[in-house]
Amino acid sequence: MARTILPFGPQHPVLPEPIHLTLEIEDEIVKSAVPALGYVHRGLEKLCEIRDFHQMIQIVERVCGICSKIHAMCYCQGLEELMGVEVPRRAKYLRVAWSELHRIHSHLLWIGLFADAFGFESLFMQCWRIRERIMDINEATTGNRVVVSVNVVGGVRRDLSKEHQTWIGEQLKLVEKEVLALKSTIVSDYTVKRRTQGVGVLTKDQAHQLGAVGPVLRASGWAQDARMLGYAAFDELEFAPVVEYDGDCYARLVVRFREVLQSVDLVRQALSRLPEGDINVPVKGKPKGEVITRVEQPRGELLYYIKGNDTKFLDRLRIRTPTFANIPPLLAMLPGVELADVPVVVLSIDPCISCTER
């Protein structure tokens, strides 16, 4: 039987962002896949030459819409390390609280999209309805639903009053109750298991050799989480990386579901231990030198390389996003998969192509 070349993407109903894969198919089984990127390349790294390093915070936030606050946090952390600024403890705890809220909403968004990929639309709608509570928390406490813009170099811009904290606690109780009500459908449903178990397997060795990060790595048995580095008050909170061992799409679904519950617990810990103090310190001077920082985005490990040359424009800003690192494992997962399962496998790495191509 001759091989067929099938283009997957850039427009596809399951893809949140455009990526093109050229699939070679024989008898409906994929034999190989070649990616083609560049549909949303905006050249944001080069903008650091004409926007000064304070204005770059807003630009860096817009690399990705779903994990925007975490990009800004990594950038501010890098600059603070470079300029020797000590962030107050209250600001660190507030950053943790907002980061973990972002992780909850990103994972809920992904579970909804993943369910939509194999046709389970009512689960998609239920997950996004729960996510609306987190969007309301974002809007009330920071001023915006999606791109929250609360980080500055030296701390955060907004504070959480006591009323906000109690209200967030009540909303999180409702979120946890509703997520646990969906647990039996997401984790134990027969149809979900048939579509996802054994599909797109990434073995433990492959995950390490191809440089997988985030839930893709943790679903293959490696207990690695960049939050263990202890940045921004994570060293004072108690948590352990969520690990599964099968390496297929079902394992990735279970990892992300358990991370939602872990993040709810982390927000509660951060808010209960919130210390008093300032929320930011004034910053003077210009960055000089090189620094490399890493944080844990919902999709994996994010790395920033910042080089300053003592002017208000940075010399070089390099962003390595987790989806960029997860594309080679995707190319290794696809051979052997049936054509109808290709959307499920592509979505299981949580592709954020606007992050990949900045």
Partner 1 sequence: MFMTKNVIKNLLCKSATRMYPAVTREPFAGFRGMLENAIDVCIFCKKCQLSCPSQCIKVDLKARTWECDPFACVYCGVCVDVCPVASLSMRATYRPVTAEREMIFMQGPPKAVKAKAGEKKEEKKEEE
Partner 2 sequence: MNETITPITVGELPALAQKMWDEGMRLVTLTAVDLCDGNLDLLYHFDKDLTMSHYRLTVPKTETVPSISGVYFAALLVENEIKDQFGTDFSGLALDFGGHLYLADEVKSQPFCKLSITKKS
| Residues forming the site for partner 1 (CB under 8 A) | 51, 54-59, 62, 129, 136, 139-144, 147, 149, 157-158
Q: Interface residues with partner 2 (CB under 8 A)?
A: 34-38, 41, 43, 45-46, 81-82, 208-211, 224, 226, 228-229, 289-292, 294, 301, 303, 305, 307, 315-316, 318, 320, 324-325, 327-328, 332, 357
Return the one option of partner 1, partner 2, none that residue 320 interacts with (CB less than 5 to 8 A, by type): partner 2
Q: Which is nearer to partner 1, 64 or 233 (CB)?
A: 64
The least CB distance from residue 67 to partner 2, in Å, is 18
The least CB distance from residue 139 to partner 1, in Å, is 5
The least CB distance from residue 143 to partner 1, in Å, is 4
Q: Which is nearer to partner 2, 226 or 266 (CB)?
A: 226
Return the one option of partner 1, partner 2, none that residue 315 interacts with (CB less than 5 to 8 A, by type): partner 2
The least CB distance from residue 301 to partner 2, in Å, is 8
The neighbouring-strand residues paired with 302 are 295
Q: Which is nearer to partner 2, 10 or 189 (CB)?
A: 10
CA angle 116, 347, 138 (to 5 degrees): 75
Return the one option of partner 1, partner 2, none that residue 58 interacts with (CB less than 5 to 8 A, by type): partner 1
The least CB distance from residue 320 to partner 2, in Å, is 4
Q: Which of 194, 192, 201, 191 has the alpha carbon at shortest distance from 249?
A: 201
Return the one option of partner 1, partner 2, none that residue 18 interacts with (CB less than 5 to 8 A, by type): none
Q: Given phi > 0 = left and psi -120 to 50 = alpha, else beta, which region is 33?
A: beta
Calculate the CA 23 to chain-centre distance: 27
Return the one option of partner 2, partner 1, none that residue 170 interacts with (CB less than 5 to 8 A, by type): none
Q: Which is nearer to partner 1, 62 or 286 (CB)?
A: 62
Return the one option of partner 1, partner 2, none that residue 337 interacts with (CB less than 5 to 8 A, by type): none
Return the one option of partner 1, partner 2, none that residue 73 interacts with (CB less than 5 to 8 A, by type): none
The neighbouring-strand residues paired with 304 are 293, 319
Q: Which is nearer to partner 1, 22 or 55 (CB)?
A: 55
Q: Which is nearer to partner 1, 56 or 82 (CB)?
A: 56
The least CB distance from residue 328 to partner 2, in Å, is 4
Amino acid at 176: E
Return the one option of partner 2, partner 1, none that residue 29 interacts with (CB less than 5 to 8 A, by type): none
The least CB distance from residue 205 to partner 2, in Å, is 10
Two tokens at 101? 């809220």
Q: Which of 37, 96, 5 has the alpha carbon at shortest distance from 351?
A: 37
